[in-house]
């Protein structure tokens, strides 16, 4: 896991902040609101800086501080060809040598940190994401601003929370505050910023999180409006629902938007896989992608950058239907090439682009057929923006409100709502993952269960390895196989050669099928004639989740385990029953803590259950001062009279282990985001409670 240890030069400032908080005796809510204001201010300035950074690189690569589509159309062909490639040459080393999290659109990395790492994000991510995304977008890469600013703002909130030694739910809330601040300041949309943080990032509309997030979003918007002005992202004519019959084409648009969103989700990651198979240095792949983008941009610079100029043309009905149809596929391809090759930027703006061109295309056709009953193509372009974005993100509320705030027009809200809902209903039905969560699912991370985990992912084959198995040689006669079938308790016989190298497996069930023909076959068949080749062999270091998948694919109750240094030498087996047993034990341990937590979660701020002997059973977040110290170093039993029963351990990014329940061991070293189930007297428990904000570990 990424260490959250605070450098010595920050300790004095941290203690000063803690002392001030203690002196003023802030309530929990007041403390969170004050920190949210700070995050909103810094997030607002960060968003403004990011906008100007993009302008700076547009001026650097294209020669103008006021880059527009008209300006790009007049540029020499070699500038449009080389600018994205030059940007890729800068982005590649930043991403692959400084912070890998800066690759791609960034939102999945924030969601992963929220759910699985208790909100801990490395500080360097801010710098890497600002630089990589500003260069990528400024040089013409087909990507948006929202993904980078979400990651930048979230990292800012995480760093501030770690500095103040905030842990657990509070740290996650501060990360979401940074997200809301970034979105609100970037798009001048405070409501959408708050809703995006709660619907997409936290997936939680709880009151406790709502206040700080809204405060942070509003604060950031005030900052951005001061420097960038109070302007909508798109200036469009006012549209309205012309006729009730017009809802029919809007329903059709919702269906088409869902299909476009599904294609957008699917092809994006297929493109990433395609670039993964290209055998060149990782940091050079963005250069290759940049050359392709530049080649497209020579004739169609509409795909460069966020594409707001082209979206505005579609919203105003100034593009022909055939060109709108062409731009749908062109923008999809350009975005996939930019992100898939290793560029840095968001996918929200491209989804708006695709939605606007799709809606404009549908609107052009519908309006030409029924001019008296329908609005012009611009109205459909506006609705299409929200419908494609909603389908891709699986977030209808955010999409509806962000389109409303981006356009500042309420007249089209009814068709916008119906198209967005239809799009989300179809996409969620056909694809469980959104464009954000699919990236994590491909890594084996299941966010749909919240903090529920696949416990087998953290268990090794060595924990259930059995050396008691039935081993036979390839020349074993059929008569002996029949005898083994009667005497052996094992369901499978593993066939090896003289060097104990695995050749295959014979199932007892297969022998029983031909046992009535034994008189005929006993002098003909040997073990080699009956063996089934093994497609799944595992070493002691493999995880049990992949073993369990293999059991589901093969009709076997045992699978072979081979030596890690000699992948043919059989050293043992793993049985399905043993895997199920250890799974059940791990689930029981986890559920024991979960059930206690669920029972006491509705009680006071520090959830607790009073036992009959005056002791209190309580689950608390690990105080920040405990992080990077072992139970033996902290000596909690002797110093505070506290008995640590169990530890809930969170995600380890280096070893790719998810949350699990572990026994309390003297050598266990606490990590940020861990929780502990403790038993203590009331007085001793109060001592631990006071540590959550100002505890100083020995030697600090």
User: Domains in the chain: how many in total?
Assistant: 4
Contact 482, 516 (CB under 8 A): no
Please report which confidence band the pLDDT of residue 458 belongs to, taking 50, 70 and 90 as the band edges. Answer: low
Q: Is 320 among the domain residues?
A: yes
Say whether pLDDT at 454 is over 60: no
- Nearest by Cα to 391 from 348, 357, 361: 348
In angstroms, the CA 337 to CA 672 distance is 37
Domain stop point among 441, 475, 510? 441
The CA distance from 523 to 115, in Å, is 62
Query: What's the N-to-C CA distance of the chain in angstroms?
Result: 22
Task: Tell whether pTM > 0.75.
Answer: no
Reference 613, options 680, 521, 525, 532; nearest CA is 680
Q: Mean pLDDT for the chain?
A: 79
- Lowest average pLDDT, out of 67-71, 109-113, 193-197, goes to 109-113
Q: Is residue 337 located within the same domain as residue 421?
A: yes
pLDDT at 521: 67
Q: What is d(CA 348, CA 137) in angstroms, rounded to the nearest whole number?
A: 13
Q: What is the CATH number of the domain that holds 469?
A: 3.10.580.10
Q: Which of 228, 253, 272 is the last residue of a domain?
A: 228
Question: Do residue 336 and residue 197 come from a single domain?
Answer: no
Q: Where residue 69 sits, what CATH number does that domain have?
A: 1.10.3080.10
**Residue 559: its H or E element:** strand 558-562
C-alpha span between 646 and 424 (Å, rounded): 41
Q: Report the C-alpha gap between 269 and 266 in whole angstroms.
A: 6
- Kindly report, residue by residue over 206-232, the tens digit of the pLDDT: 556 678 888 999 999 999 888 888 777
pLDDT of the residue at 451: 41
Task: State how far the Cα of 604 lies from the Cα of 620, in Å rounded to an integer.
Answer: 12
Mark whether 164 and 37 lie in a shared domain.
yes
Assess whether 113 and 25 both reside in one domain. yes
Verify that 545 and 683 share a domain, yes or no: no
- pLDDT number for residue 439: 79
Residue ending a domain, choose from 202, 228, 254 = 228
Averaged over 563-569, what is the pLDDT? Answer: 78
Q: Is 1 part of any domain?
A: no
Residue 506 placed within a domain: yes
Q: For residue 5, what pLDDT is reported?
A: 43
Residue 673 placed within a domain: yes
Please tell me the predicted confidence (pLDDT) of residue 4.
39
Q: Pick 617 or 562 by higher pLDDT.
A: 562
In a domain, 447, yes or no: no
pLDDT, mean of residues 243-269: 90
Are 351 and 465 part of one and the same domain? no
Same domain, yes or no: 38 and 130: yes
- Determine, yes or no, domain membership for 77: yes
The helix/strand/coil state of 480 is helix
Would you state the pLDDT for residue 405?
Answer: 79
Distance CA 163, CA 29 (A): 18
Report residue 669 as tokens.
Answer: 């070293």
Shared domain check, 211 and 271: no
Which pLDDT score is estimated for 38?
Answer: 92
3-state helix, strand, coil in the chain (%, to 5): 60, 10, 30
**Domain-located, residue 374:** yes
Q: How far apart are CA 325 and CA 501, in angstroms?
A: 60
pLDDT score, position 26: 56
553 versus 114: the higher-pLDDT residue is 114
204 and 255 inside one domain: no
Residues contacting 154, CB < 8 A, separation 6+: 110, 113, 121, 175, 176, 178, 179, 182, 201
Which residues, other chains included, contact 28 with Cβ-Cβ below 8 Å and sequence gap of 6+? Answer: 605
Same domain, 549 and 412: no
Give the pLDDT band (50/70/90) at residue 341.
confident
Nearest to 342 by CA among 266, 276, 296: 276
**Model confidence at 604: pLDDT above 60:** no
Q: Running DSSP on this structure, what letter comes out for residue 652?
A: B
Residues 64 and 141 in one domain: yes
The answer on 178 and 122 residing in a single domain is yes
Who wins on pLDDT, 565 or 414? Answer: 414
- Domain membership of residue 617 (yes or no) is yes
Q: What angle do CA 173, 174, 176 make, to 5 degrees?
A: 65
- Reference 405, options 185, 110, 106, 148; nearest CA is 185
Over residues 288-331, the pLDDT tens digits come to 988 999 999 898 998 898 888 899 899 888 889 999 999 999 99
Q: Identify the CATH number of the domain in which residue 676 sits.
A: 3.30.70.1450
Domain of 536 in residue numbering reads as 458-580
Residue 368, CA distances (Å) to 254, 273, 320, 374, 415 in order: 19, 41, 12, 9, 19
């Amino acid at each position: 896991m990424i260490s959250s240890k605070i450098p010595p030069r920050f300790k004095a400032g941290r203690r000063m902040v803690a002392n001030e908080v203690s002196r003023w005796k802030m309530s929990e809510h007041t403390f969170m609101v004050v920190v949210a204001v700070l995050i909103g201010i810094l997030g607002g300035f960060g968003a403004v800086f990011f906008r100007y950074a993009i302008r700076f690189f547009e001026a650097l690569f294209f020669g103008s501080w006021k880059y527009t589509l008209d300006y790009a159309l007049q540029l020499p062909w070699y500038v449009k060809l080389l600018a994205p490639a030059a940007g890729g040459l800068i982005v590649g080393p930043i991403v692959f040598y400084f912070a890998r999290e800066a690759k791609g659109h960034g939102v999945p990395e924030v969601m992963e940190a929220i759910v699985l790492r208790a909100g801990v994000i490395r500080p360097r991510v801010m710098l890497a994401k600002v630089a990589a995304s500003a260069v990528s977008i400024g040089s013409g890469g087909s990507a948006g601003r929202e993904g980078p600013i979400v990651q930048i703002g979230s990292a800012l909130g995480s760093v501030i929370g770690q500095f103040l030694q905030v842990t657990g739910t509070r740290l996650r809330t501060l990360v979401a505050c940074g997200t809301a601040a970034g979105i609100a300041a970037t798009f001048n949309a405070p409501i959408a910023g708050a809703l995006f943080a709660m619907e997409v990032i936290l997936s939680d509309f709880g009151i406790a999180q709502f206040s700080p997030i809204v405060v942070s979003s509003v604060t950031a918007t005030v900052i951005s409006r001061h420097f960038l002005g109070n302007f909508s992202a798109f200036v469009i004519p006012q549209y309205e629902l012309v006729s009730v019959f017009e809802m029919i084409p809007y329903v059709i648009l919702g269906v088409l938007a869902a299909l476009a969103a599904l294609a957008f989700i699917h092809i994006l990651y297929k493109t990433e896989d395609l670039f993964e198979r290209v055998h060149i240095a990782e940091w050079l792949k963005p250069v290759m992608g940049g050359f392709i983008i530049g080649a497209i941009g020579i004739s169609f610079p509409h795909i460069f950058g966020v594409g707001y100029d082209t979206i505005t043309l579609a919203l105003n009905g100034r593009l022909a239907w055939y060109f709108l149809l062409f731009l749908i596929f062109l923008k999809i391809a350009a975005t996939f090439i930019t992100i898939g090759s290793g560029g840095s930027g968001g996918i929200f703006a491209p989804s708006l682009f695709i939605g606007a061109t799709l809606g404009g295309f549908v609107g052009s056709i519908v309006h030409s057929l029924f001019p008296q009953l329908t609005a012009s193509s611009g109205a459909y372009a506006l609705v299409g923006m929200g419908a494609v974005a909603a389908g891709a993100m699986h977030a209808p509320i955010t999409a509806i409100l962000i389109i409303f705030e981006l356009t500042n027009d309420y007249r089209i809200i009814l068709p916008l709502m119906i198209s967005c809902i239809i799009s989300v209903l179809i996409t969620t039905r056909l694809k469980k993952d959104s464009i954000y969560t699919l990236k994590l699912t491909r890594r084996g991370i299941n966010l749909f269960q919240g903090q529920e985990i696949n416990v087998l992912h953290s268990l090794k084959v060595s924990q259930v390895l059995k050396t008691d198995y039935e081993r036979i040689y390839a020349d074993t006669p059929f008569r002996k196989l029949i005898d083994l079938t009667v005497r052996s308790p094992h369901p499978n016989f593993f066939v090896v050669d003289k060097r104990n190298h695995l050749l295959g497996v014979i199932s007892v069930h297969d022998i029983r099928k031909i046992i009535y023909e034994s008189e005929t076959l006993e002098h003909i068949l040997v073990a080699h004639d009956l063996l089934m080749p093994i497609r799944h062999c595992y070493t002691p270091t493999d995880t049990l989740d992949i073993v369990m998948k293999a059991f589901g694919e093969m009709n076997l109750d045992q699978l072979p385990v081979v030596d890690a240094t000699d992948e043919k030498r059989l050293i043992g087996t793993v049985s399905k029953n043993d895997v199920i047993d250890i799974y059940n034990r791990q689930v029981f341990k986890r559920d024991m803590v979960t059930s206690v937590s669920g029972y006491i979660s509705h009680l006071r701020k520090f959830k607790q259950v009073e036992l009959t002997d005056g002791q209190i059973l309580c689950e608390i977040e690990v105080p920040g001062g405990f992080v990077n110290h072992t139970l033996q170093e902290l000596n909690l039993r002797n110093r505070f009279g506290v008995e640590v029963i169990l530890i809930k351990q969170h995600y380890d990014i280096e070893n790719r282990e998810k949350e699990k329940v572990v026994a309390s061991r003297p050598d266990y070293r606490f990590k940020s985001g861990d929780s502990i189930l403790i038993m203590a007297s009331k007085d001793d428990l109060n001592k631990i409670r006071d540590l959550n904000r100002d505890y100083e570990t020995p030697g600090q």
